[in-house]
Amino acid sequence: MSASSSESYEPNLTPILDMVFQLITFFMLVINFKGASMDLTLNLPVLGSARPLEYIGRHEPLTLNIDKEGIVKSRGATVDVDAFVASEARLLKLLLDAGGTKLVDGELPVPVVIRADKTVNFTSLLRIMRLCQAEGYRQIALSAMTREGK
């Protein structure tokens, strides 16, 4: 009797492993690496006709988050927008040059995504758009939520 009670009983781990792998697969498929460049605390305007960004290129779009005080953030950090846009444009020009891409009329073939809080005033927004334009960014994508709620 004592011999039979000392036998080790192992639970069948196969179903739990199956379930865990299913969950891992789900999270791997829905993971959003681009989310890191977005400030999800911003209250974007709602516009039903807003569409996903139509851009197919090797270089990542430049994302600028503008909060209601007009402070610009990129990749989670507050930036000096003048210096930041200038350095990003300079870097992109170097990369394009190295890749043999010629600029047409000095226009950078990469869009700038402007994610501004809906209460940001036009003066703040215009200043940033003009800055991007001066550095060669002419494609501007203005972000909005396609429906209410997050």
Partner 1 sequence: MRRRSRRHRRHKNSGEAVQLNMAAMLDMAFQLLAFFVLTFRPSAIEGHLQVHMPPPIPLTNVNSEAPPDESGESGETLSGLETLDLYVTSNQNGDVADLKVGTFPVVQGQLHPAAVRRLNEHLKSLFEIEGILFDRVQIHADGRLRYDELMKIVDVCTQQTLSDGKPMQRVNFMELGNPVGTDGGN
Task: Check the CA dihedral 68-72-75-77 and report its sign.
Answer: negative
Toward partner 1, which CB reaches closer, 1 or 29? 29
Q: Rounded CA gap, 54 and 32, in Å?
A: 18
Contact 19, 94 (CB under 8 A): no
Q: Rounded CA gap, 47 and 76, in Å?
A: 25
Toward partner 1, which CB reaches closer, 44 or 81? 44
Instruction: Give the footprint of partner 1 on residues 3-62 (CB under 8 A).
Output: 10, 13-14, 16-17, 20-21, 23-24, 27-28, 30-32, 35, 38, 40, 44-47, 49-54
When binding is defined by CB under 8 A, the residue of 62, 64, 110, 113 that contacts partner 1 is 113
Contact 57, 141 (CB under 8 A): no
Residues in binding contact with partner 1, number by CB under 8 A: 59
Angle in degrees, 0-180, between the axes of helices 81-98 and 122-135, rounded to the nearest 10: 30
Toward partner 1, which CB reaches closer, 61 or 96? 61
* Contact characters 66-105, partner 1, x per CB under 8 A: ---------------------------------------x
Query: Which helix H or strand E contains 123, and what residues bound it?
Result: helix 122-135
Toward partner 1, which CB reaches closer, 15 or 100? 15
Instruction: List the 112-116 sheet strands across, edge first.
Output: 77-78, 72-74, 62-66, 112-116
Contact 129, 114 (CB under 8 A): yes
Q: Counting contacts by CB under 8 A, is residue 130 touching partner 1?
A: yes
Judged by the rule CB under 8 A, the positions of this chain that interact with partner 1 are 10, 13-14, 16-17, 20-21, 23-24, 27-28, 30-32, 35, 38, 40, 44-47, 49-54, 105-107, 111, 113, 116-123, 125-126, 129-130, 132-134, 138-147, 149-150
